[in-house]
Amino acid sequence: MAGPRLQPMQRIASILMAMAAAYTGLAMSAPSTKVLFQTGPLPQEWKSGVTGEGSAKWDVVDDRSAPSSSAVLRQSGTGTFCWAVKSDERVRDGFLEVKFQPTAGSEDQAGGLVWRFQDANNYYVVRANALEDNVVLYKTVNGKRSSLPVKGRMFGYGVDVDVPQGKWSTLRVEFSGSLFTVYFQGRKLFQVEDTTFRDAGAVGLWTKADSVTLFDDFTIGRQSD
């Protein structure tokens, strides 16, 4: 008799979970803006630089393999951490998503997303690396980068996952308050909690060392109040 009495409660729980998931998805997906690029130099509203040493080289080039238009953003310079941020955007809570393709690099082949960017030495970044086959979320404070622990885990360095070379992949991060949720190829990978940067900041893209990386379909979303 106990089994049948539990079934209605299970159905209600399933409905509530589905409603919660739908609500979260709606809150994190609207309103959003997809950034479009035109072949040539980095647009004026974008600022670029390096955390550490070296020189970044960001430009917009044609690539027939691009998921959307043929114009993609490319970073081909060499620096400790190369970044490009959309300086006219200030976001505290929301999401970022991008399609990226690591094309070259002997030391690293990485592509990442930057948010709550205060300056060249202070920001959050999540990156996927095709040479290491992992996705890791970091904070950069006063120019020093440190990985943040995955929620619910005592040890470890991000999450191991296949990051293909020479192919397009999708990286996404949702950030609300102190909670950050990372997705790769549409699959939820892990969550991180941190309170270092609480204020709104610029958003953008990131590479490491000698990575030559292409970016397309960069989407910026703001969490609804």
Identify the three-state secondary structure at position 15: helix
Q: How many residues does the chain have?
A: 225
The count of other CB atoms within 10 Å of the CB of residue 159 is: 16
Report pTM: 0.85
**What pLDDT shows up at residue 224?**
66
**The two three-digit tokens of residue 216, written as one number:** 């397309």
d(CA 45, CA 88): 6
SS3 35: strand
| Dihedral sign (CA 133, 139, 144, 150) | negative
CATH 3.90.79.10 fits 33-222, yes or no: no
* Distance separating alpha carbons of residues 109 and 164, to the nearest angstrom: 10
Q: Other C-beta atoms within 10 Å of 49: how many?
A: 17
DSSP string, 151-175: TT-SS-SSEE----TTS-EEEEEEE
The structure tokens 């980095």 sit at 42
Burial 189-217 (b: 16+ CB within 10 A, else e): bbebebeebeebbbbbbbbbbbbbbbbbb
**Which residue carries 């992949």 as its tokens?**
169
For the chain, domain boundaries: 1-30, 33-222
Per-residue pLDDT tens digits for 212-223 = 999 999 999 998
Q: List the alpha helices (DSSP H) in the chain.
A: 2-29
Rounded to whole angstroms, the Cα distance separating 49 from 53 reads 10
Preceding peptide of 43 cis, ω within 30°: no
Q: How do the pLDDT tens digits run along the chain, 225 residues long?
A: 444 444 444 443 443 344 444 434 444 445 889 998 889 999 899 999 999 999 999 999 999 899 987 899 999 999 999 999 999 999 999 999 999 999 999 999 999 999 999 999 999 999 999 999 999 999 999 999 999 999 988 777 899 999 999 999 999 999 999 999 999 999 999 999 999 999 999 999 999 999 999 999 999 999 865
Residue 148 has phi, psi (to 5 degrees) of -105, 140
Angle at 137 between CA 135 and CA 142, to 5 degrees: 140
- Using CA atoms, how far apart are residues 95 and 113, in angstroms rounded to an integer? 10
Parallel/antiparallel/unpaired status of strands 78-91 and 201-209: antiparallel
